[in-house]
Structure 1
Amino acid sequence: MTGTTPDQPISISFELFPPKTDKGMQNLGHTVDKLTQAGPEYFSVTYGAGGTTRDRTARVVEMVANRSGIPVAHHLTCVGASRDEVDAQARGLWEAGIRKIVALRGDLPEGETLAEDGYHDAAELTAGLRKIADFDISVAAYPEVHPEAENAETDIEHLKRKIDAGANKAITQFAFDTDTVLRFVERARAAGIEAPIVPGIMPVANFASLKRFSAGCGASIPDWMEEMFAGLDDTPDLRSMVATSVAVEQCRRLVAGGIREFHIYTLNKPEVSLAICRSLGLPVEIRADHAA
């Protein structure tokens, strides 16, 4: 179903976001040190629409690469910029040694439209990047359908456009209904999409915040999760234990369905992500944190 074999090793990657403060940057460095113990295939660093975090993203990409010695994927959006501006940034990334890009249209600020002289979607952006250099390009996929898509069929068609434009793989938006993810992979394969489809795994760090975020990106929260996490935002240790259990169970079911690669949205917190990796059988050396 997934194009993998049972003896193919499980691989993981970790997504980070740029902190807003120097203290946050220092904390992220320690997080990277811990996550590196899991031997990820790569890290990725998010990027704000319209370049709102462009400089911070570049700083984090450099820090993570230098600190871990592991490849780092730079998120790149095309909202709020002309093609020439995006192309110039992409050339700069290549010259800086960045070989992996997560190509996204980006969220449109309210009341704004895409620039007429810009890339209009991630498929166009991917095709443009292919003309610049031989990047390893990942794009987004939506098991529960992108909020702006007409329907599931057109959403799959758009994903195929991105793959056909030169994307190497797709990373999914998180979805907590595992059957939904597996059915999405089946539909993508039936549509002729052969590139790897990597499920995005979202450990629950704060359930109230997760509900707000999910409402904006079209990801549903199952009733059983509402019940499981009710009242746990005030008991973070117990919440982390439950979050780990939920994420591990989802990953194990996906492995049983033929999935061998996962992209973990760490929220810059290493503990649950490392516990997931350990539960998947990855040789993670969990070191005690002796920081004062």
Structure 2
Amino acid sequence: MPAPQISFEFFPPRSVEASFRLHDTVQALAPLGPEFVSVTYGAGGTTRRLTHEAVSAIQRTAGLRVAAHLTCVDATREETLEIARGYAAEGVRDIVALRGDPPKGAERFVPHPEGFADSCELISALRETGDFTIRVGAYPDRHPEAASDTADIDWLRRKIDAGADGAITQFFFEAETFFRFRDACVKAGIDKPILPGILPIENWANTRRFAERCGAKVPAWLDDAFATARSEGREEARSVELATALCSELLKGGAGHLHFYTLNKPQLTRDICRALGIGPSPDTSGRRS
């Protein structure tokens, strides 16, 4: 089996200490040769400047291909496209285009009066520039705002039709969840790459709460697995075992690329990659040869 492609997601730091942690995370994971890394955008556009700074720093210091998250929240069309043009001027050619979460305290997304109404409008505008590889979000489990069980696939179809080059999924816990979604996408005529998103579980209680908020289904056996691991003092080892098993199933099922949500904490992601046989690239630039 050929070595899979991998990619990592980071989030922008909000403090000096967090800046050092991001730097250390990038340095720890860059030798694994990611195809690209992405940097998130805070809810309500709260990290717009920090995201830009992190993207620039990673590209400049680590020599990695960086995908910048860009959302429709709390900005005019021109302001959003100006950010994109700034990225293009710096040589950033990858965008993860998202509608974005509502600002803190808001119950639902409300477009800026002069902004993009949804991710499809943003994707179309970015595609017209001709400058970017555009990836979008996808939801193997039903998104909390989805109107029906098929709505997420319908929305992904619209985003692909608008010009997206591929998608990265929300995290999930069982390979069958991804395969079922992938097969439904193929049936719907979606032929662009869909990268499975993997969230290494550092703290099960926190991950479970996060999953419930974003609609990711939590299988009962995971509660039992981590309860046992906690009693045995093996939570970290169990996390690596379970994530490695999930990734192995995905690779055997035809997924050729794994996207890891690192939470700016590299150890679990690095251990999982090592368990999968993904080692440092011989290419000293940090890119997979």
Does the pair score TM above 0.5?
yes
Give 1:118-267 correspondences, 5 Å limit. Answer: 118-230=115-227, 238-267=234-263
Q: Deviations over 1:155-213 (max 9, x none)?
A: 21110111111111110000102111100000000100000010000000111211221
CA distance in 2, matches of 1:232, 1:32: 29
Match of 1:268 among 261, 264, 269: 264
- Asked whether the 8 Å contact 2:3–2:278 carries over to 1, the reply is no
SS in 2 for 1:170: strand
Whole-angstrom distance in 1 between the partners of 2:68 and 2:178: 25
Distance 1:239 1:22, change over 3 A: same
For the Cα contact (< 8 Å) 2:229–2:238, is it kept in 1? no
TM-score (norm 2): 0.91
- Please tell me whether the aligned partners of residues 278 and 284 of structure 1 are also in contact (alpha carbons under 8 angstroms): no
Q: Give the gaps of 5 or more residues in structure 1.
A: 1-6, 286-292
Letter in 1 for 2:144: P
Deviation (angstroms), 1:67: 2.4
RMSD, matched Cα: 1.8
Letter in 2 for 1:248: T
Is the 2:140–2:172 contact (alpha carbons within 8 Å) kept by the matching residues of 1? yes
Count of residues paired in the alignment: 278
Identity over the aligned pairs, expressed in percent? Answer: 45
Structure 2 residue 45 is matched with structure 1 residue 45 = no
* Structure 2 gap ranges (5+): 282-289
1:3 paired residue number: none
SS at match of 2:277: coil
Q: Distance in 2 between matches of 1:42 and 1:65?
A: 10
Decide whether the 8 Å contact of 2:12 with 2:47 is kept in 1. Answer: yes
Relative to 1, partners in 2 of residues 1:8 and 1:119: Cα closer, same or farther, differing over 3 Å? farther
Q: 1:75 aligns with which of 62, 69, 73?
A: 69
Aligned partners of 1:96, 1:233: CA distance in 2, in Å? 46
Which whole-Å CA distance do the structure 2 matches of 1:93 and 1:71 have between them?
Answer: 12
Distance 1:162 1:8 in 2: 30
- 3-state SS of paired residue (2:83): helix
TM-score between the two structures when normalised by the length of structure 1: 0.90
